[in-house]
Amino acid sequence: SQQGEEDPQALSIQEGENATMNCSYKTSINNLQWYRQNSGRGLVHLILIRSNEREKHSGRLRVTLDTSKKSSSLLITASRAADTASYFCATRALGGSEKLVFGKGTKLTVNP
Amino acid sequence: NAGVMQNPRHLVRRRGQEARLRCSPMKGHSHVYWYRQLPEEGLKFMVYLQKENIIDESGMPKERFSAEFPKEGPSILRIQQVVRGDSAAYFCASSPVTGSNQPQHFGDGTRLSIL
């Protein structure tokens, strides 16, 4: 199974602190994507990193990818209360269909 | 510039009834994906469609579930003879025509409750 796993399952921090979430997966991938989901809403795409990339930045987000360890991390710097949400990594298998395989997510709470 | 539109947002059905979930992809997107999410879980892939074609249905249960994406109109996920275990949030996503490194854009989902 390609099913990924995020850790930690839940993370609670204070506003202004950094939040780091990790994701592991099992098979060779074409790309890895991070999504955010607010309660009761759909998923919002945050960042896509290709298998030949090692690091990518977007605003306060920094994503790393280590294909040798089959792992990725998402760092949110200077967190805000509005960052409170669940964060999911999703992988697209190499040579497979366009489907995404999601982990179970990390529930982030940023306390004001 | 509307995003992916799903309706209804909430759907209540009794056991044995049929549920029809609709998804209109973003303008210019011809790839549609359906996912199911149980409480406190990640999304599980169900089916991937292009206009009038099912490309990958490896995540679809073998019975009672079907999906279509006609030439005109929205994509439909149909669940016949619903059971309690079908209660979940169903999400639709879409992506543009080409390129495997395109993100999928998600709708806000349909929350299906089975009484």
> Would you give per-residue pLDDT tens digits along chain B (115 residues)?
579 999 999 999 999 999 999 999 999 898 999 999 988 788 999 999 998 899 999 999 999 999 999 999 999 999 999 999 999 999 999 998 656 678 899 999 999 999 9
Contacts 24+ apart (CB under 8 A), B44-47: B44/A102, B45/A99, B45/A100, B45/A101, B46/B77, B47/B77
CA atoms within 13 A on the CB side of B44: 13
Distance CA B43, CA A60 (A): 25
Q: Does A101 touch chain B (CB under 8 A)?
A: yes
How far B58 CA lies from chain A's nearest CA (Å)? 10
Find chain B residues with C-beta within 8 A of A36's C-beta: none
Check: CB of residue B31 under 8 Å from CB of residue B95: yes
Q: Does A60 touch chain B (CB under 8 A)?
A: no
**Strands A101-102 and A85-93: what pairing?**
antiparallel
Alpha carbon B6 to its chain centroid, in Å, reads 9
Phi and psi at residue B85, to the nearest 5°: -65, -10
Helix (H, G, I), strand (E, B) or coil at B94: strand
